[in-house]
Amino acid sequence: MDIQAEIDWIQKELQEVKDPVFIEVIKNMLKYRRKVSSERISIEQFNKEINESIADIEAGNYHTHEEVKMMINQWGKR
């Protein structure tokens, strides 16, 4: 397959996805790809992201290792 055919296939598949956790994973992968391909972030940005992550954890916005394992097991059953 050529690259455009691959992109078309991925777009078609994503239109059928209803699992918000899976969508979040894809979104984070794409965000990470952009970060890695760009220049290193500043220490200020790094600290900002750390503080945001800590705030998320304190607010209960996280999944335990066991929860993630269960989510992954569900992916294969869809």
pLDDT at 40: 74
35 belongs to a structural domain: no
Altogether, the residues listed in the chain come to a count of: 78
**What is the domain extent for residue 64?**
41-78
Query: Which spans in the chain are helix H?
Result: 3-16, 20-37, 43-58, 65-75
62 belongs to a structural domain: yes
Question: Does this model's pTM top 0.85?
Answer: no
- Domains of the chain: total: 1
68 belongs to a structural domain: yes
Print pLDDT tens along the chain (78 aa): 699 999 999 999 999 988 888 898 999 888 887 766 666 778 998 999 999 999 999 999 999 999 999 988 888 776
64 belongs to a structural domain: yes
**Cβ–Cβ under 8 Å, residues 75 and 19:** yes
70 belongs to a structural domain: yes
56 belongs to a structural domain: yes
57 belongs to a structural domain: yes
Nearest alpha carbon to residue 28 among 36, 39, 16: 36
pLDDT at 57: 94
63 belongs to a structural domain: yes
pLDDT at 11: 93
